[in-house]
Amino acid sequence: MKRIITILLASLCICLYCKAQLRPITNMEAFNKRLSTEAKTLTAIESDFTQQKYLDVFDEKITSKGKFYYRKENKICMSYNQPLNYLIVINNAKLKIVSDGKKSIMNLSSNKMMTQMQDMLTACMVGDLSKLTGNYELTYFEDAQYYRIKIKPTNKTIQAYIKEIDIQLDKKDMSVHKLRLLETETNYTEYEFYNKRFNALTDETVFSVR
């Protein structure tokens, strides 16, 4: 089970190291109102992504690329095409992973921890922070172009897999620009999303878990 959670986290979570000068968000009411409005109107996302994974044991970054798809509610697909073909699909309570032509499917609802991870991942991928309540501590910053939200789990079980999540939202449309998952002090997975299209997804087959 720990291996499945690690694969899910390493493949789906994202965060950012922002070099720009950050300051605390001065108007949280306006920020929350706009974020809520954008979340209500968002039904689908398509984008390209680049993933960088750093493991201190190798002292190097491993770069992968692919396509990201999201459909409200709880449907996520990450299709890797460089350097290898690799597929992860979450469709409500089911998770499908296809690696080296081998497919595995599991039911997330059968494990409370996996359900919490699914909610957290969905919230981070689409920037719907309303799902992150109770088990997380959030702090908010901004610069001229982006909002940055640092998320620390307070639940000890979740802390065993995630040290911190860092999300960068583009101020133009409140979409996730970058996202980093810190698994330890030095190991992390970082994603950058680009060529984003909103509410235009027509191919539902990308979410198939058969």
What six digits make up the tokens of 125? 């991928």
Which parts of 46-170 fold into alpha helices (H)?
112-126, 156-159
Kindly state the helix (H) or strand (E) to which residue 190 belongs, with its residue range: strand 188-198
In contact, 179 and 13? CB cutoff 8 Å: yes
A 10 A CB-CB count for 98 gives 16
Q: What is the pLDDT of residue 18?
A: 38
User: For the segment 114-168, what is each residue's pLDDT rounded down to a tens digit?
Assistant: 777 777 777 777 777 877 767 889 999 999 999 999 999 888 888 888 899 999 9
C-alpha angle with apex 14: 129 to 47, nearest 5 degrees? 90
What six digits make up the tokens of 41? 């109107």
Beta strands in 11-101, from DSSP E residues, in sequence order: 23-24, 44-55, 60-71, 75-82, 86-91, 94-99
Q: Provide the 8-state DSSP code for 186.
A: S
Q: Provide the 8-state DSSP code for 184.
A: S
What are the domain boundaries of the chain? 2-195
Global pTM value: 0.83
User: For the segment 4-50, what is each residue's pLDDT rounded down to a tens digit?
Assistant: 555 555 555 433 333 447 899 989 999 989 988 888 898 999 999 99
**CATH top class, domain 2-195:** mainly beta
